[in-house]
Every structure is written in structure tokens, then in C-alpha cells.
């Protein structure tokens, strides 16, 4: 399974990011979410959304093997095992692997909980099997 | 405090002193946040008789307990001040992402006091808060300044900025944010301008505490689900506020040629469907909004990009000026946004000037040589700039239609469309008595958002003058502004029709305080009465005569359109007020009685 996005449908509201932080940390704080929304305004007037493709490149380089697969087939960070080395961050092709020591004492990423999809009013986000997705 | 940033930030611009204090728990209990905080701090702290443009006036910027949380539309920010346009209470609501950032910075309100000796901007990055030199930005348009801050500081920073209109203290200057959202009405941008604050840039990384995370998450999800299940979601999101343009034209509510009629013969060219097909490129939402009404547009004709136009701008800068080209309206919108002018008041001022020109009160000598007939697009563009610079005819129009018409006289007061000095927003009210009463009694002047009663008029009979209609207006005035108090948006309730009781468990989980809508409406009534007392405190002779609408709506029936020949009798205007005052518990001159103030726990504050 994988999270997909159609950026043309994104209205930049950030509901997905609040929901994400609530799932990952039990907090309401979009700076602690695993999605990125890049607004491009005033020109050309579009949003660009970055989401995790579950490629696993982050897990492959983690020296602590702290990035593990969950029951949904998604890579997640075991917070207790993360040593904040940041080896994973540059490996992420979508820039959605996060270490911000001022905000959290572990790295974080999308664990495919699906809450972002539930909040999105414009159906810009969805979860689908990798091989069947029509994007 | 759960649901709150926890601190009030005070910035004394005269001395440069920046202080923080705990958000007072009793004020949070009685006024909750947002607009409630604004009304409380304004009444309590701005001394009687303060010059709106002097150092004693304050600009109070407030989030609410919903702001920044997982609640649909939790992105509304309140800007309260003593209005330089009306001399009374001003409260302007701005969408976007600013209010959420206030909370993430650990704040609830930002209070700007005094006057800076030089142009500055307020920089907030969590606990690092500074006044910085804004010389390089002074004189620039809002869009360029916001873009420069975003480029320099990053997209996580949120920016509220004034344009030349605010710098030049045009009494209806607005504050801009997110390339197209505004705190539009009542001149909040002029107050920021006279204080020499070009911008506020803010970034916060703090999490907002809530009382019960599990219950909040569950209730938040239920609210989003209700929005997503709403049958009107797709159509509303496609057109946003422009969904009403065609309806208003059909029922005679679309302001046409300075409100002389309510239907526009070329109105079809301005309808939401035309705009969507012709210019809209992106749906743009405020914080947390599942039903984004913001429409971001590109005009090929003018090679420009703008958020909007919203219905209000289409009404006031389109049909009200006899302009039927949606791209021209979009361009006028952009010019006003960049100059930092409220499109509603500016559209009224230009419409009034066009009427003065058409009926011979103005000649080309008065209009700087311009043929200022209705429909003149280029003249409209030109006047927006001149108003923001107070140049030529723009200097007169920058004063607002009340003062401008008092200066010019010659009967022009009769078609100056305002209440209490605030120009009327985009609903023509020749024959829609609940909406007319809503405008007459609105707490800032002729603005629609407190009680959008026009659909109710059409439902129950538009010319009816009955106590039920008055009761409806009062209920709307107590209930709808509670969203501005809570720091969220009312449109999920208004437009998607979601069950308002879904908010109750969410708010309880956030704040830990159980309140029903009856409780919230009582807070709404408390604020309504407090702002009424503010008007009276600041204006000698304040009372019934201040609640009268523009004479056009009781003296001069439209000659064309859906409301042709229709008008509200002056006797009915007074009957509406009689019933309104009685139901509000006010005296015959429209002032709250001591008993009413006591019942609302306001006696001490207003003593």
C-alpha cells in the first residue's frame, strides 16, 4: 500500500498535516507531520505536495535498524531505537524523512495511518496498492 | 490553558518594549477568544475618546480555541480596533494560516500599542520576538512584500502585511495575508499603517495543548466526515462564494450601479460558472478547511494572478460599477489587494463617485478629467491607485462615502450607501427586511457576515415585518460571530449544513469545558452588547438614528430588475428597530438597559 497525491487538487489547507502530527505524536502541530505542502504563490498559483512512497531507502541506510515495516507494509520509525543520526534524511527522494531535534527526539516519517486521507476535503490524497495505482 | 496558546503578546511601538502576560483565565471564560478577546481588550484598554489614529488606539489580533487544531476551517483571525472609518467598533476576520501560527507560537492575542517612530515589522519566531526595520519595504505593494518574506524566511512563516493604502492611512485600508486573504473592513490596515507597522511575520513550532486528545481526535474526525459527506461540498468547492452571484442577480440582491438596482442586465457575465471556466486555476483553502472557497485565478487579458474575486468583490467592483467583465473585476481585485484597500468600501466609494458624475454633481473638473461613467474599467483601475495614494479625486473617496458625501452635499448623501459610516457589502436591500435590519444593526456598520439573513427573507416573505424575522436576525447575530470568537469559520455550518452540535464535543475535548450552543450564544450576546456600549461611549448622541439604513432603501425603488418598484417603507424601518430593541432588551433609543447588562455580567466592565 502507498499514499498517493494529486497536487492539482490540493488547496493548501494543512488539515492532513495536523492529522498526521496527531497520529504520530498525539499533538496538534503541522511542523511535526510527515507530509510537505509547498505553496507556489503568487505565480504560478499552485500547491505541490510531497508524500512518502514507502520506497524504503531510509530503512536501508539506518544504522540502528530503527525504521521497520508495520502490518500495512509501511516503513515507520521505532522512536525508541532512533539515535537521531540523520543518515535517513538525505536518502529520501521526496524530502519527507524528518529529523528536527528542536521538535522531537526521534526521526519521523509516514506510517500510512490514513488519517490525512480522511481529513482531505478535496480528495487530493488516497491510499492504494502500489501496482494498481493510476497516477 | 487547554485550547489556548497561553500568552498575550504586547508590543509597545512607541517605546519598543515587548512583553508577554498569561492569557487571563476569567477573560477566556467570559469572552472565550478571537473577537471576544478583541471586544474585551478594546473596551477595557482603549481610553474613552481615543483618536483611532493616535497612540492610544490599539490593534488587537486574536486567535481562538479552535485555531490551529483539527477542526474544519480553524483558520480565522480577528483584528479589532477603534475604527478610523466609523469612529466605533471595528472587527475584521481574516482567513488563511496566520491565526494557526499565532497559536503555534504559544500566543492567543497580539496587541499593538502606541506609534513607532519609524517603519518596522514585527518578527516572531516562537519566543524570539523583535521589532525590525521595515524601511526597505515601506511603499511596496502587499504581494511583493509577502513574497520577499516567504523567499527570505521560508514557507513556514506566515505574513500579514499592509499596502500603500494602510501606509497612507486610508480609513478603509485592509491587512493582507496569504496572497489574497484580508482582514478587510473598518480600517484595521490604517491603524496598522499609522502605527508604522508594515508587516507581522510569525512562525511557531509549539503544539497546542488539549484537554482530551482521544476525544478531540474522534470529534474532529466526525466533523471532517460530516463536511465530506455533505451533498453541497462539490458545488460549493467549485464556486466558493461566487455560488451566490446568479441567485443574487435573480432575486434582486446584486448591487448594481451604486445600489440603484438589485439586478444587472449583464450580470450573467459575472456568474460563478463563467468565472470558474474563464479564470479559476486553483482552489485555495484557509487552514484546516475541507471545503475551500478561495478561488485562485489567472487573467490572460491582464497577465495577472489573484485570489478571487470573491462574491463581495464581484458585487462591489463589478455590477455596482456597471462592469461586466470578470477579468476586469479580477484585475481591480488585484490592484486593491496590492494597494491594501478593502474592495467593498472602495467599490462603494467609486460607485458613489460614478453616480455623482452621471447626475452632474461631478464634472470632469472634479474627476481629474476622467469620464467617470458607470462601466469605465480603466477609470476604476486608476481610482484604486489614487485612493491608496490619496491623490486627486482619490483623496475625497479615501474618506469613505459618508464623509465624502457630507463634504460634497447636493443630495449625494442620499446615495451614499453605508450604515454608521461603513459602506454596505454586496446585498441590495430594497426589499429584504431581515437583511436590511441585519445591516442596520450590525456591530461594525453595514456588513453582512454577522447575520446573513437574505435567504431567510426569501423563504418567509421578503417584505414581511414581523417579530419572528427580528428574532431570526438576533439569533444569527448572537450565534454566527461565535465562530469568529472561536477562531474558526462558519461556512461549514452555513454552506455545507453540517450539524452544529458536532462542534460541541470537539470544543469540550479541546478546552475541557462543557458548553452548549445556548451557552455560546450567551457569550455572543454579551459581546454584542459590549460593542454596542463601546459605540455609545465613543460617540455623543449615539442611538436610533445611527441604525438607519441608506435612504436609497426606503426612498427610491429600483427602476429595473427583480426588485423593480419595490421598497421598504420608513415606517417599517422603524418598526423593525422597535421590535429589535425590545427583543434585545434595549431601550427605545437602542441602548442596552442596566438590567440587560447585569444579566450578561457586563455591569462592572461598562460602569
**A47 in contact with B, Cβ within 8 Å:** yes
Residues of A in contact with B223 (CB under 8 A): none
- Kindly report the nearest CA distance between residue A111 and chain B, in angstroms: 18
Predicted local confidence at residue B356, as pLDDT: 98
Predicted local confidence at residue A130, as pLDDT: 82
Predicted local confidence at residue B359, as pLDDT: 97
Q: Write the secondary structure of B578-600 as one string of H (helix), E (strand) and C (coil).
A: HHHHHHHCECCCCCECHHHHHHC
Residues of B in contact with A121 (CB under 8 A): 72, 224, 227-228, 233, 237, 285, 289-292
Which among B68, B210, B288 is the nearest to A13, CB-wise? Answer: B288
Predicted local confidence at residue B396, as pLDDT: 98
B138: which residues sit within 8 A by CB, 6+ positions away? B119, B167, B198
Predicted local confidence at residue A133, as pLDDT: 52
Residue B110's nearest CA partner among B196, B201, B30, B207 is B201
Residues of B in contact with A7 (CB under 8 A): none
Q: How far apart are CA A51 and CA A3, in angstroms?
A: 7
ipTM at complex level: 0.96
Q: Is the pLDDT of residue A135 over 50?
A: no
Q: How far apart are CA A23 and CA A110, in angstroms?
A: 10
Which ranges of chain B have pLDDT less than 70?
none
Closest residue on chain B to A46 (Cα)? B282
Record: contact A121-B227, CB cut-off 8 A: yes
Which among A12, A18, A44 is the nearest to B70, CB-wise? Answer: A18
Which among A15, A39, A103 is the nearest to B224, CB-wise? Answer: A15
Q: In sequence order, what are the beta bridge partners of B20?
A: B9
Record: contact B305-A47, CB cut-off 8 A: no
Q: How far apart are CA A76 and CA A98, in angstroms?
A: 12
**A36 in contact with B, Cβ within 8 Å:** no
C-alpha cell recorded at residue B444: 461594525
**Residue B168 in contact with residue B397, Cβ under 8 Å?**
no
Please give the span between the terminal C-alpha atoms of chain B, in angstroms, as a whole number. 29
Give me the sign of the Cα torsion angle B207, B208, B209, B213: negative
* Torsion, Cα of A49, A51, A53, A58 (10° steps): 130
- Which region, left, alpha or beta, applies to residue B432 given φ > 0 means left and ψ of -120 to 50 means alpha? beta
Which among B213, B233, B290 is the nearest to A119, CB-wise? Answer: B290
Q: Write the secondary structure of B279-305 as one string of H (helix), E (strand) and C (coil).
A: CEEEEECCCCCCCCCEEEEEECCCCEE
Mean pLDDT of all residues in chain A?
A: 96
Q: Which of B285, B294, B330 to mutate: most A Cβ within 10 Å?
A: B285
Please tell me what DSSP assigns to residue B206: P
Q: Write the secondary structure of B159-170 as one string of H (helix), E (strand) and C (coil).
A: EEECCHHHHCCC
Record: contact B221-A119, CB cut-off 8 A: yes
**Residue B307 in contact with residue B294, Cβ under 8 Å?**
yes
Q: Which of B151, B202, B282 to mutate: most A Cβ within 10 Å?
A: B282
Residues of B in contact with A42 (CB under 8 A): 143, 147, 179, 305
Closest residue on chain A to B280 (Cα)? A45
Predicted local confidence at residue A132, as pLDDT: 59
pLDDT digits (tens, 9 = 90+) for A34-70: 999 999 999 999 999 999 999 999 999 999 999 999 9
C-alpha cell recorded at residue B147: 513574497
What structural domains does chain B harbor? 7-203 (3.60.9.10), 248-398 (1.10.569.10), 433-606 (1.10.599.10)
Q: Helices marked H in chain A — which ranges?
A: 15-25, 57-61, 115-119
Give the CATH number of the domain where residue A116 resides.
3.30.70.20
For chain A, the C-alpha Rg in angstroms (whole number) is: 14
Which among B69, B147, B291 is the nearest to A28, CB-wise? Answer: B69
Domain range for A56 is 2-132
Residue B10's nearest CA partner among B104, B113, B118 is B113
Record: contact A28-B70, CB cut-off 8 A: yes
Record: contact A119-B97, CB cut-off 8 A: no
Number of domains in chain A: 1
Amino acid at each position: 500500500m502507498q499514499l498517493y497525491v494529486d497536487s492539482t487538487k490540493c488547496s493548501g489547507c494543512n488539515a492532513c498535516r495536523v492529522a498526521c502530527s496527531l497520529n504520530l505524536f498525539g499533538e496538534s502541530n503541522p511542523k511535526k507531520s510527515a507530509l510537505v505542502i509547498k505553496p507556489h504563490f503568487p505565480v504560478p498559483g499552485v500547491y505541490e505536495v510531497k508524500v512518502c512512497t514507502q520506497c524504503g531507502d531510509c530503512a536501508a541506510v539506518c544504522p540502528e535498524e530503527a525504521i521497520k515495516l508495520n502490518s500495512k507494509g509501511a516503513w515507520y520509525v521505532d522512536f525508541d531505537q532512533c539515535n537521531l543520526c540523520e543518515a535517513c534524511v538525505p536518502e529520501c527522494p521526496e524530502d519527507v524523512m524528518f529529523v528536527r531535534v528542536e521538535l522531537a527526539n526521534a526521526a519521523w516519517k509516514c506510517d500510512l495511518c490514513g488519517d490525512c486521507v480522511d481529513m482531505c476535503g478535496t480528495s487530493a490524497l488516497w491510499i492504494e496498492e502500489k501496482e494498481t495505482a493510476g497516477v | 490553558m487547554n485550547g489556548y496558546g497561553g500568552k498575550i503578546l504586547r508590543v509597545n511601538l512607541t517605546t519598543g518594549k515587548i512583553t508577554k502576560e498569561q492569557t487571563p483565565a476569567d477573560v477566556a471564560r467570559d469572552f472565550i477568544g478571537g473577537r471576544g478577546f478583541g471586544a474585551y481588550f478594546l473596551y477595557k484598554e482603549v481610553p474613552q475618546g481615543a483618536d483611532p489614529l493616535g497612540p492610544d488606539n490599539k490593534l488587537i489580533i486574536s486567535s481562538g480555541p479552535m485555531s490551529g487544531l483539527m477542526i474544519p476551517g480553524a483558520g480565522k483571525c480577528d483584528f479589532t480596533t477603534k475604527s478610523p472609518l466609523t469612529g466605533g467598533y471595528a472587527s475584521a476576520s481574516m482567513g488563511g494560516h496566520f491565526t494557526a501560527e499565532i497559536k503555534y507560537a504559544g500566543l492567543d492575542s497580539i496587541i499593538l500599542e502606541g506609534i513607532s517612530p519609524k517603519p518596522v515589522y514585527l518578527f516572531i519566531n516562537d519566543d524570539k520576538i523583535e521589532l525590525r526595520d521595515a524601511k526597505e519595504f515601506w511603499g511596496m505593494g502587499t504581494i511583493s512584500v509577502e513574497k520577499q518574506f516567504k523567499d527570505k524566511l521560508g514557507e513556514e512563516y506566515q505574513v500579514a502585511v499592509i499596502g500603500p493604502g494602510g501606509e497612507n492611512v486610508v480609513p478603509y485600508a485592509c491587512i493582507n495575508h496569504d496572497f489574497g486573504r484580508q482582514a478587510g473592513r473598518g480600517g484595521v490596515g490604517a491603524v496598522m499603517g499609522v502605527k508604522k507597522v508594515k508587516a507581522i511575520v510569525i512562525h511557531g513550532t509549539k503544539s497546542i495543548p488539549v484537554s482530551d486528545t482521544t476525544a478531540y481526535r474522534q470529534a474532529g474526525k466526525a466533523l471532517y466526515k460530516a463536511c465530506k459527506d455533505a451533498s453541497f461540498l462539490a458545488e460549493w468547492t467549485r464556486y466558493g462564494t461566487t455560488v451566490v452571484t446568479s441567485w443574487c442577480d435573480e432575486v434582486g440582491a446584486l448591487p448594481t450601479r451604486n445600489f440603484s438596482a438589485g439586478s444587472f442586465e449583464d450580470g450573467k457575465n459575472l456568474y460563478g460558472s463563467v468565472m470558474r471556466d474563464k479564470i479559476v486555476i486553483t482552489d485555495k483553502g484557509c487552514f484546516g478547511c475541507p471545503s475551500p472557497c478561495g478561488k485562485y485565478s489567472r487573467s490572460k487579458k491582464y497577465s495577472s494572478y489573484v485570489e478571487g474575486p470573491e462574491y463581495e468583490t464581484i458585487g462591489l467592483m463589478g455590477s455596482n460599477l456597471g462592469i461586466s467583465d470578470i477579468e476586469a473585476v479580477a484585475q481591480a481585485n488585484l490592484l486593491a489587494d496590492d494597494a491594501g484597500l478593502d474592495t467593498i468600501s472602495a467599490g462603494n466609494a467609486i460607485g458613489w463617485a460614478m453616480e455623482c458624475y452621471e447626475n452632474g454633481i461631478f464634472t470632469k473638473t472634479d474627476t481629474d478629467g476622467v469620464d467617470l461613467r458607470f462601466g469605465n474599467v480603466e477609470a476604476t483601475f486608476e481610482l484604486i491607485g489614487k485612493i491608496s495614494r490619496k491623490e486627486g479625486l482619490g483623496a475625497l473617496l479615501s474618506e469613505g462615502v459618508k464623509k465624502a458625501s457630507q463634504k460634497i452635499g447636493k443630495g449625494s448623501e442620499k446615495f451614499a450607501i453605508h450604515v454608521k459610516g461603513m459602506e454596505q457589502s454586496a446585498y441590495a436591500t430594497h426589499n429584504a427586511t431581515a437583511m436590511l435590519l441585519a445591516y442596520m444593526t450590525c456591530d461594525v456598520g453595514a456588513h453582512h457576515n454577522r447575520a446573513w439573513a437574505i435567504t431567510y427573507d426569501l423563504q418567509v416573505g421578503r417584505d414581511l415585518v414581523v417579530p419572528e424575522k427580528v428574532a431570526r436576525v438576533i439569533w444569527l447575530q448572537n450565534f454566527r460571530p461565535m465562530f469568529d470568537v472561536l477562531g474558526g469559520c462558519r461556512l461549514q455550518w452555513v454552506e455545507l449544513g453540517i450539524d452544529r452540535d458536532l462542534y460541541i464535543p470537539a470544543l469540550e475535548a479541546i478546552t475541557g469545558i462543557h458548553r452548549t450552543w445556548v451557552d455560546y450564544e450567551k457569550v455572543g450576546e454579551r459581546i454584542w452588547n459590549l460593542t454596542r456600549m463601546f459605540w455609545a461611549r465613543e460617540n455623543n448622541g449615539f442611538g436610533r438614528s445611527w441604525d438607519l439604513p441608506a435612504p436609497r432603501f426606503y426612498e427610491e425603488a429600483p427602476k429595473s430588475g427583480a426588485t423593480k418598484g419595490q421598497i421598504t417603507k420608513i415606517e417599517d424601518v422603524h418598526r423593525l428597530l422597535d421590535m429589535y430593541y425590545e427583543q434585545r432588551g434595549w431601550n427605545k433609543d437602542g441602548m442596552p438597559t442596566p438590567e440587560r447588562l447585569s444579566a450578561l455580567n457586563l455591569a462592572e466592565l461598562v460602569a
